Amino acid sequence: MQPPASTMPDADDILRVEDLKVHFPITRGAVFRRQAGAVRAVDGVTFTLARGETLGVVGESGCGKSTTGLAIARMVTPTAGRIAFEGVDITDFDQDHMRPLRRRMQMVYQDPYGSLNPRMKVRDIIAEPLEVHGIAGGRAALKERIAASMAMTGLAPAMADRYPHEFSGGQRQRIGIARALVLEPSLVICDEPVSALDVSIQAQIVNLFVDLRDRLGLSYIFIAHDLAVVRHISHRIAVMYLGRIVEIARRDDLYRDPLHPYTKALMAAIPIPDPELEATRPRQIVQGEPPSATGPRVGCAFHRRCPAAMPRCAQEDPVLMGTPGERAVACHLHD
Amino acid sequence: MPALLEVRGLTTRFRSSGGTVTAVDDVSFDVAQGETLAIVGESGSGKSVTALSILRLIPTPPGRIEAGQVLFEGQDLLTLDDAGIRAIRGSRIGMIFQEPMSSLNPALTIGLQVAEPIVEHRGATWRDALTRARGLLDRVRIPDAAQRLAAYPHQFSGGMRQRVMIAMAQACEPTLTIADEPTTALDVTVQAQILDLLKTRSEETGSALVLITHDLGVVARYASRVAVMYAGRIVEIAPARRLYRTPQHPYTRGLMQSVPRLDSDTAERLVPIEGQPPDLGRLPQGCAFAPRCRVVMPRCRTERPVLAQIADNHAAACFHHA
């Protein structure tokens, strides 16, 4: 399958996402089901990811960050848009077509316990993807691969015969990572991988992700709600609001000089662990809550909460504009 | 002036088929009138069980408060009968929990639920209580409060429900409010709104606030004093500025270093606390933090350090400061 010319990837790009939309139908009626509307979970997302790069994707619940990740992994079906992975347009791939690509694109989830089968030993959990893909090799080779995968994620290979419940949350997330890496993927989509962990353990796992990336040349999409966490792992960061990217920038640019009022609001809302600094920090708490993803989109999705809203913002929906790969913002203040 | 709340030697254990776990182990601290004390810790540290023990909300069995005193306005809450403690909860002590949906009755209107404590504890008529409830909803900035009185909890967002909880907690103008992870389930922009509101309302009513959280940023923004818990014990307690500037316990220092910050100039590597969180069922003989401590000494593995004063208003449980 030849991707359309517009999504032809650069040699360096591992992933290109273009105007991705994922709408979930809302149906009414028990006998004659009819579509009564749609939740526009992802509503026009465009970005590229370079080989070896980490893109942090942040936003609050309902902003579409997790659905974006699931759509890229083709675990939900896009409503519109294109996804090209390693030069192959996978937008319309079914599960059979995706199977060989799954080796190259793996997911790590938030809840390390919920995503591990409690009745399987760690060795079988890690071996499963190898067996599914028919690349298990001989018994000795399999054992070696499991041991290598465990060692790489900081688990003692001697723990291979234990069950998930015998591990702490941080160790379970290591198992989840070992399972994802045993297939030697090039892209790992991490959906809130440290959100459920305690602070002291969170730092261990973030560092593990960084080390593995540097060692194995992995690319990550690192989805999180916490701007402070993604800072320590991302090269670039995309901020999402109501199904769209409202700002995307290189890490240091974003933190030094956030442009979108929503990005600023997110940063202002996150307290800094320093009482003296907090006492003098200007407090601009944005009021209200995100609007519903089912209603019509009139004007900028953020305009009702935006401290800098102009009359135009209530009518015209701003588009993401800027330099691809560097910085782009969807805000009339920066048109 | 005596403290508003004096917790002395509080010990709460849970029994299960697997054995007995000491969730809160000989915890003592004071709360002064009008101050905000944060109790910070990771999962299993005992911070929530401490709050529930003060309020006598420990499910028995499997839990039991086995020792200690909780002196609130001079009266030991642990010796009160059920009617006695019910007269204080929701009246002189307001409570706010993480998941408002489980604290609200889904079958009753918001108005009835906010008015109820006013009727029950203040002997107001329902009519007067509903009028007051409307004013309370206004003050927690719920738009169209008059209409919203007739709404049900499921018609509110998580943030709005937590506003209702604050209105209820403050309905009888308590002298103490205990908030247990009140914003953990909320998005960051809503979290900031709710915590600001909670702080403002506590100041308006003159209520002291015990804020239980795992978030060191939240502590820095809202607390005047901080108790750090680890494996059921307070390992350090100090005024907030002092604790952040000069943390003395190796666990507190480790926590401060491991938390990702928005404001450091370069994105340097995080410094985690190595090792695994404590397993309360199998705590080591000495200091519970010894297996993860960077400055552990032989003594730490055999003896338990007790919380000892190391400066004015600053105590730590560590042999390096004994």
Confidence at residue A87, expressed as pLDDT on a 0 to 100 scale: 93
Contact yes or no for A275 and B241 at CB 8 A: yes
Q: How far apart are CA A130 and CA A108, in angstroms?
A: 16
Q: How far apart are CA B26 and CA B19, in angstroms?
A: 19
A153 and A241 belong to one structural domain = no
Least CB–CB distance from A198: residue in B244, B256, B277: B277
Confidence at residue B245, expressed as pLDDT on a 0 to 100 scale: 96
Contact yes or no for A251 and B267 at CB 8 A: yes
In a domain, B28, yes or no: yes
A290 and A196 belong to one structural domain = yes
Least CB–CB distance from B188: residue in A231, A270, A273: A270
Search chain A and give the residue with CA nearest B226: A275
pTM metric for this prediction: 0.91
In a domain, A113, yes or no: no
Contact yes or no for B192 and A269 at CB 8 A: yes
Q: Which residue has the tokens 């389930």?
A: B185
User: Number of CB pairs < 8 Å for A and B?
Assistant: 138
Does any CB of chain A come closer than 8 Å to the CB of residue B107? no
Q: Residue A284 — very low, low, confident or very high, per pLDDT cuts 50/70/90?
A: confident
In a domain, B120, yes or no: no
Statement: residue A14 has pLDDT above 70 = yes
In a domain, B225, yes or no: yes
In a domain, A32, yes or no: no
Confidence at residue B266, expressed as pLDDT on a 0 to 100 scale: 60
A320 and A305 belong to one structural domain = yes
Q: How far is A182 from chain B (nearest CA, A)?
A: 24
In a domain, A200, yes or no: yes
> In terms of pLDDT, which residue wins out, A335 or A119?
A119
In a domain, A33, yes or no: no
Statement: residue A36 has pLDDT above 80 = no
Give the tokens for residue A158: 């001697």
A131 and A92 belong to one structural domain = no
Distances (CA, A) of A158 to A140, A162, A164, B244: 15, 9, 14, 40
Q: Which of A182, A198, A231 is the last residue of a domain?
A: A182
All residues of chain A having their beta carbon less than 8 Å from the beta carbon of residue B260 are 202-203, 206, 226, 228-229, 231-232
Domain span at A80: 5-26+38-104+185-334
Distances (CA, A) of A290 to A100, A267, A302, B124, B191: 39, 16, 8, 38, 13
Contact yes or no for A204 and B157 at CB 8 A: no
- Pick the residue of B163, B187, B215, B235 with the most A CBs within 10 A to test the interface with A by mutation: B187
Least CB–CB distance from B157: residue in A283, A287, A289: A289
A222 and A269 belong to one structural domain = yes
A230 and A307 belong to one structural domain = yes
In a domain, B298, yes or no: yes
Least CB–CB distance from B244: residue in A170, A171, A273: A273
In a domain, A324, yes or no: yes
Residue B101, number of CB atoms within 10 A of its CB? 15
Q: Residue A196 — very low, low, confident or very high, per pLDDT cuts 50/70/90?
A: confident
Search chain B and give the residue with CA nearest A168: B276
In a domain, B157, yes or no: no
In a domain, B34, yes or no: yes
Question: Using CA of residue A126, residue A128, residue A130, residue A131, what is the dihedral sign?
Answer: positive
A79 and A200 belong to one structural domain = yes
- Pick the residue of A274, A302, A305 with the most B CBs within 10 A to test the interface with B by mutation: A274
Mean pLDDT calculated for residue range A93-112: 88
Amino acid found at B140: V
Does any CB of chain A come closer than 8 Å to the CB of residue B277? yes
Search chain A and give the residue with CA nearest B189: A269
Summarised one tens digit per residue, pLDDT across range A16-30 is 999 999 999 888 777
Does any CB of chain A come closer than 8 Å to the CB of residue B273? yes
A155 and A200 belong to one structural domain = no
Choose among B245, B239, B249, B289: nearest CA to B38: B239
In a domain, A148, yes or no: yes
Search chain A and give the residue with CA nearest B45: A198
In a domain, B88, yes or no: yes
All residues of chain A having their beta carbon less than 8 Å from the beta carbon of residue B18 are none
Confidence at residue A4, expressed as pLDDT on a 0 to 100 scale: 40
All residues of chain A having their beta carbon less than 8 Å from the beta carbon of residue B273 are 200-201, 203-204
- Strand, helix or coil at A117? coil
Choose among A220, A262, A219, A225: nearest CA to A65: A225
In a domain, A111, yes or no: no
Domain span at B254: 5-102+175-261+269-321
Q: What is the CATH number of the domain that holds A209?
A: 3.40.50.300
Search chain B and give the residue with CA nearest A289: B190
Choose among B90, B52, B101: nearest CA to B170: B90
Q: Residue A325 — very low, low, confident or very high, per pLDDT cuts 50/70/90?
A: confident
Contact yes or no for A200 and B273 at CB 8 A: yes
Give the tokens for residue A110: 């938030």
DSSP annotation of B101? H
Does any CB of chain A come closer than 8 Å to the CB of residue B143? no
All residue ranges of chain B with pLDDT < 50 are: none
A263 and A190 belong to one structural domain = yes
Q: How far is B45 from chain A (nearest CA, A)?
A: 11
In a domain, A273, yes or no: yes
Q: What is the CATH number of the domain that holds B88?
A: 3.40.50.300
All residues of chain B having their beta carbon less than 8 Å from the beta carbon of residue A206 are 260, 270
A173 and A192 belong to one structural domain = no
A178 and A189 belong to one structural domain = no
Report the domain count for chain B.
1
Statement: residue A265 has pLDDT above 50 = yes
Confidence at residue B267, expressed as pLDDT on a 0 to 100 scale: 60
A191 and A275 belong to one structural domain = yes
Contact yes or no for B269 and A286 at CB 8 A: no
Report the domain count for chain A.
2
Does any CB of chain A come closer than 8 Å to the CB of residue B135? no
Q: How far is B217 from chain A (nearest CA, A)?
A: 4
Confidence at residue A5, expressed as pLDDT on a 0 to 100 scale: 40
Contact yes or no for A271 and B221 at CB 8 A: yes
All residues of chain A having their beta carbon less than 8 Å from the beta carbon of residue B216 are 199, 273
What are the DSSP calls for B185-250, one per residue?
TS-HHHHHHHHHHHHHHHHHHT-EEEEEES-HHHHHHH-SEEEEEETTEEEEEEEHHHHHHS--SH
Does any CB of chain A come closer than 8 Å to the CB of residue B17? no
Confidence at residue A250, expressed as pLDDT on a 0 to 100 scale: 95
